[in-house]
Amino acid sequence: MAFGKSLLLKENGLFYRQMAYLFASGATLPEALTILRDESGDSKIAKITESLRTKLARGDSIAESLSEYPYIFNPTLVYLLSTDQENKKISEFLYQYADEIERMDGIKLRLLQALIYPGKVLMIALVIMVILMIFVVPVFQEMFQNSGLPAPTRFVLTISMMVKDYWVVILAGLIGLFLVITKSKTVLYKIGSTFPVIRSLLEDLSVYSFSKYLSIMIPLNRPLSETIEYAARMVPHRPFAERIIRACPHIQNMDQFKEQARKNKFLPNLFCSTLAIGIRTQSLEKLLAEMARFYEIRITKRIEIVTNFLEAFTIILIGIIVGFMVIALYLPIFSMAGAIG
Segment 7-41, tens digit of pLDDT: 555 667 777 888 888 888 888 888 888 888 787 66
66-94: average pLDDT: 79
Percentage of the chain lying above the pLDDT 70 cut = 89
Is residue 318 within 8 Å of 123, Cβ to Cβ? no
pLDDT at residue 206 is higher than 60 = yes
Instruction: For residue 5, name the pLDDT band (cuts at 50, 70, 90).
Output: very low
Bigger pLDDT: 74 vs 243? 243
Reported in sequence order, the residue ranges of 86-206 that DSSP labels E, i.e. its strands, are none
Rounded mean pLDDT, 209-220: 87
157: left (phi over 0), alpha (psi -120 to 50) or beta: alpha
Query: What is residue 67's predicted lDDT score, i.e. its pLDDT?
Result: 81
Instruction: Classify each residue of 204-228 as buried b or exposed e, where b means 16 or more C-beta atoms within 10 Å of its C-beta.
Output: bbbbbbbbbbbbbbbebebebbbbb
List the chain domain ranges: 2-73, 87-341
Q: How confident is the model at residue 4 (pLDDT cuts 50, 70, 90)?
A: very low
Least-confidence region, from 99-113, 136-150, 182-196, 306-320: 182-196
DSSP for 252-271 reads SSHHHHHHHHHHHT-S-HHH
Mean of per-residue pLDDT scores for the chain = 81
Angle 95-100-105 from CA coordinates, rounded to 5°: 130
Report d(CA 231, CA 239) in Å as an integer.
14
Q: How far apart are CA 128 and CA 173, in angstroms?
A: 15
How much is the average pLDDT of 253-268? 84
189: confidence class by pLDDT, cuts 50, 70, 90: low
Is residue 268 within 8 Å of residue 291, measured between CB atoms?
no
Taking the whole predicted model, whether its pTM rises above 0.95 is answered as: no
Q: What is the pLDDT of residues 291-336, one digit of tens each?
A: 889 998 999 888 888 888 888 888 898 889 888 888 888 888 777 6
- Which pLDDT does position 336 carry in this prediction? 67
Give Cβ neighbours of residue 14 (< 8 Å, ≥ 6 apart).
Answer: 98
Rounded Cα gap, residues 295 and 288, in angstroms: 11
Distance CA 53, CA 70 (A): 16
Q: Is the pLDDT of residue 177 over 80?
A: no
Confidence class for position 3, pLDDT limits 50, 70, 90? very low
pLDDT at 147: 60
